[in-house]
Structure 1
Amino acid sequence: MRDIVLVLFILGSVPFIFKRPWIGAVLWAWISLMNPHRFTWGFAYDFQVAMIIGGSTLLAFVFKLKDVKAPPKNGAMIALGLFVLWLNITLPFSFNLEQVYGMWDKVMKIMLMLFVTSMLIIEKRQIQVLTWVVALSIGLLGLKGGLFTVLQGGENRVWGPAGSFIEGNNEIGLAFIVVIPLMYYLHEQVTDKRIRWALLACIAGSAAAALGTHSRGALLAIAAMTLFLWLKSPRKLLNGFIIVLLSPLLYFFMPEKWHDRMATIETYQDDASAMGRINAWQMAYNLAKDNFFGGGFQIYDGNIFARYAPDPEKVHAAHSIYFQILGEHGFIGLFLYILVGFMTWRLATRLIKQADGKNELRWISLFCRMSQVSIAGFAVGGAFLSLAYFDLPYYLLIIMSTMDRWLRGQQTASPVAMQMGNGTRPVRGMAATSERKTL
């Protein structure tokens, strides 16, 4: 039944996409992040949902150019463009050229749709809808995973959608951590008590699910995220009390085998998995030193490890966004990748300064603060995971860039027009910013 419902929904959305192309951009984010077709059991499991939504969006993009704006102009978007350009420059120099096109094609589709999204999401209401979809695409998985963790007593691991970037327990754990600040942002924007409680359930579920992945990287990331969440939250005393109260409860709820696994963080020298990662990091560094353009997307095989790894027998994925980019695209690639993150942080800081003290712009200020919390969590957790091309952190850049463009366009508008976004109505349940007290 769920197969039929999903396919009918996807096919039924096509006419709406051609009428309003921005809907296609939002649906692409949902498909790309949540992978809903992977939660079916029949013909929809391998149904080309991404191709239908992506293709329809691109066609609508061409047919309705009047609804399109140029990509936002800021340092972060320029850095992202340079990074994508470098990925294409390094392509011909890939070690396993005949094997890299599958991953290259996947990454380029993601990047293309990110830029298309930045050109279609224009009005305030569209930005809000995209934010809700991005956050809840992972947040609902967190609620599901949290319930599983509680019901199983934390004994069994939480896994992500099959065939996605976040299929592994480590990867889905980091995704849960990244969206917790975004759901906190949404919680602070609504007045409907039912929605607020539902968001709190998603936040608690995502925290429990992150622990339920049994991922050591996720534990480090959630510690960093929690610290930054407290620093960036508007109600430090209340949120600090909640964190102090809930953290021990979640920690001691987990079973003994979870604690035994987390304890190996201190004795990583005796852990085969940890040493395999370090071996892969050294391989990536040696490869980048020897090859200006890196080795390409597919460098994790015995032949390459035999040439560059200290222990050629331990063939291991990079398990680090930094060493992943370093090995695949060289030092220039790593510089551009870090530059994207740095400029995204700078963009958030600038928007916070512009919006602070203006109640009608609190929605921008709080989102940027929470995005910095998410970036901090991803920067720490990503040091131990191969998630350099995962869409979620890039969507933070896209959303903030569309906010920046919207704000520039509203600089000469009246406060009421700025608040309502050129006459558009806020998302149902979303409080007008001026109606909420500064917390």
Structure 2
Amino acid sequence: MRDLIMLAVFSLLIWKTMKEPIWGVLGWVWMGVMNPHRLAYGWAHDAPWSMVIAVALFASIFIHRDKLTKFPVNGVTVLLLIWILWIGVSPMVNSFYPDREFASWSRAFKVLLMVLVSMLVVQRRRDLDWLALVLVVSIGYYGIKGGLFTILTGGSARVWGPEGSFIEDNNSLALATIMTVPLIRYLQLQATKKWQRYAAIGAMLLCMASAVGSQSRGAFLAIVAMSFFMWLKSRNKLPLALVVLVALPLMFVFMPESWTDRMETIKTYDQDGSAMGRINAWHTAWRLALDMFPLGGGFTVAGPAAFAKYAPDPTIPLTAHSIYFQALGEHGFLGLFVFVGIFWLTWRRAALLMRATKNLPELQWARDLAAMCQVGLIGYATGGAFLSLVYFDMPYYLVLIVVALDRLVAREMETRTRAAIAAGIRPADVHSPYWGGAS
């Protein structure tokens, strides 16, 4: 039955994609982030849904090419292009296991390529709202279900994601859930009905409960950082502060002793085998990057060969468990610089956007969305410090949203300036010009 439902929904999605490319983008995001086919039990479970929707999207782009927007050329997109090229260099030059590189490279390449392709399609507020909604539904499904599971089990069991996805393990799902909370907050701020706002509050609380129930120490730190920045960046700070100050302590109080014991190992990391294994992997990535400067060792550095040569303790070869050391070990110092630069410039672009729309009520929604994207990136930067999720889709979709939003606001500000000039008013007397630099 689930297979047939999947086929029916997907067929509708393909039909809509051929009429309008944005549906192909939304379908790709849905398939890549939620992995709904993993909820089926028959033939649909392993069918090549993503490939089919990608082909349909490219066909639709060709058919409707006259309706596409120009590709935005700015610091963020330039670094994204460099990143796509650079992740193919280390695997070809320094790989310890050349025959194993292609699968990992292909997976990362497809995520990044589709983000760039989506920049040609996403161009209206409607597109951005739909994209935010798809991301919320895709991760929120697991977050809400996981939150209910955590409450019903008293937090005694961990919450896991869909198999074969970036968010399969409990730690990765927790981080994805945390990054989704700011987007739910954005949708709540735009909601016009009271029940929608209350539903959003419930979804945010359940998603945070799910992240807490993952028993991930990185997620715990990410929740704290994300909650503070979400309060800092939000309008209507008092109601949000009351919810956070009441709900989060209650979550922590009702968690079992096993959760408390695990969180306390943050202070005594030197006595925890898992933490020391990660530190061993970080040392390995650092030594390898120094030796292979400016390249890294490719996608397969988390194996016995690299650890035998570079690790302080070669008997515990682990993945980097850190987006920073993963990027460093796999793609060297230049790769790390480009990777961090993408998100740093995205943050700066969002900040400029917020400044430009500060006193424009009609663009308050854009300011809200930019702010919540910043909060999501804070969650990724904090929780990602303890997870190997360099190629996880979600943060790159936040980059996509900010770049598209930047272009949309720049277009709106240009229209306002032209209207002011036509009316004989100096642009400076209307509002400060927007220097977002969108193309």
Same fold (TM over 0.5): yes
- Comparing 181-190 with 119-128, greater Cα deviation is found at 119-128
Within the alignment, does 1:307 sit opposite 2:309 as a pair?
yes
Q: Partners in 2 of 1:149 and 1:221 — Cα distance?
A: 18
Displacement after TM superposition at 1:414 (Å): 6.0
| 2:39 corresponding residue in structure 1 | 39
Listed as ranges, the gaps of 5+ residues in structure 2 are 420-439
Within the alignment, does 1:96 sit opposite 2:97 as a pair?
yes
Displacement after TM superposition at 1:409 (Å): 2.2
Q: Partners in 1 of 2:253 and 2:262 — Cα distance?
A: 14
Q: Partners in 2 of 1:314 and 1:89 — Cα distance?
A: 27
- Is the contact made by 1:225 and 1:376 (CA closer than 8 Å) also made in structure 2? yes
| 2:423 corresponding residue in structure 1 | none
- Is the contact made by 2:304 and 2:314 (CA closer than 8 Å) also made in structure 1? yes
Displacement after TM superposition at 1:325 (Å): 0.4
Structure 2: which amino acid aligns with 1:387?
Answer: L
| 1:423 corresponding residue in structure 2 | none
Q: Partners in 1 of 2:12 and 2:399 — Cα distance?
A: 30
State the TM-score, normalized to the length of structure 2.
Answer: 0.92
Structure 2: which amino acid aligns with 1:49?
Answer: W
Q: Which of 405, 408, 417 is the aligned partner of 2:407?
A: 405
| 1:25 corresponding residue in structure 2 | 25
| 2:335 corresponding residue in structure 1 | 333
Displacement after TM superposition at 1:89 (Å): 2.7
- Is the contact made by 2:205 and 2:247 (CA closer than 8 Å) also made in structure 1? no
| 2:170 corresponding residue in structure 1 | 169
- What SS class does the counterpart of residue 415 from structure 2 fall into? coil
Map Cα deviations across residues 339-376 of structure 1 (whole Å, 9 max, x no partner): 11110110110100111110010011011111111111
- Is the contact made by 1:79 and 1:343 (CA closer than 8 Å) also made in structure 2? no
Map Cα deviations across residues 151-199 of structure 1 (whole Å, 9 max, x no partner): 1111110001110111010000011111111111110101122322222
| 1:76 corresponding residue in structure 2 | 76
Q: Partners in 1 of 2:89 and 2:71 — Cα distance?
A: 22
Structure 1: which amino acid aligns with 2:375?
Answer: V
- Comparing 394-403 with 38-47, greater Cα deviation is found at 38-47
| Identical residues among aligned pairs (%) | 43
Q: Partners in 2 of 1:212 and 1:255 — Cα distance?
A: 10
| 1:370 corresponding residue in structure 2 | 372
Q: Partners in 2 of 1:182 and 1:13 — Cα distance?
A: 23
| 2:135 corresponding residue in structure 1 | 134
Displacement after TM superposition at 1:252 (Å): 0.7
- What SS class does the counterpart of residue 70 from structure 1 fall into? coil
Q: Partners in 1 of 2:15 and 2:101 — Cα distance?
A: 35
Q: Partners in 2 of 1:321 and 1:127 — Cα distance?
A: 27
Displacement after TM superposition at 1:412 (Å): 4.2
Q: Partners in 1 of 2:204 and 2:76 — Cα distance?
A: 28
In the TM superposition, 1:317-328 aligns within 5 A as 317-328=319-330
- What SS class does the counterpart of residue 87 from structure 2 fall into? helix
Displacement after TM superposition at 1:80 (Å): 1.5
- Is the contact made by 1:26 and 1:130 (CA closer than 8 Å) also made in structure 2? yes
Q: Partners in 1 of 2:30 and 2:14 — Cα distance?
A: 15
Map Cα deviations across residues 395-427 of structure 1 (whole Å, 9 max, x no partner): 111111111112222234369x9xxxxxxxxxx
| 1:433 corresponding residue in structure 2 | none
Structure 1 stretches of at least 4 aligned residues deviating more than 6 Å after TM superposition? none
Q: Partners in 1 of 2:63 and 2:310 — Cα distance?
A: 50
CA RMSD of aligned residues (A): 1.4
Structure 2: which amino acid aligns with 1:155?
Answer: S
Q: Which of 353, 356, 360 is the aligned partner of 2:355?
A: 353
Q: Partners in 2 of 1:134 and 1:3 — Cα distance?
A: 22
- Comparing 320-329 with 292-301, greater Cα deviation is found at 292-301
Q: Partners in 1 of 2:5 and 2:403 — Cα distance?
A: 34
Displacement after TM superposition at 1:247 (Å): 1.5
Kindly tell me: are residues 237 and 197 of structure 1, through their superposed partners in 2, closer, same or farther at Cα, counting changes over 3 Å?
A: closer
Structure 2: which amino acid aligns with 1:108?
Answer: F
Map Cα deviations across residues 263-307 of structure 1 (whole Å, 9 max, x no partner): 111111111111000000000001101112110011111121000
Displacement after TM superposition at 1:90 (Å): 2.6
Q: Partners in 2 of 1:233 and 1:196 — Cα distance?
A: 15
Kindly tell me: are residues 221 and 368 of structure 1, through their superposed partners in 2, closer, same or farther at Cα, counting changes over 3 Å?
A: same
- What SS class does the counterpart of residue 413 from structure 2 fall into? coil
In the TM superposition, 1:6-405 aligns within 5 A as 6-93=6-93, 94-292=95-293, 293-405=295-407
Aligned residues: 416
Map Cα deviations across residues 47-71 of structure 1 (whole Å, 9 max, x no partner): 2111111111112212321122222
Structure 2: which amino acid aligns with 1:328?
Answer: E
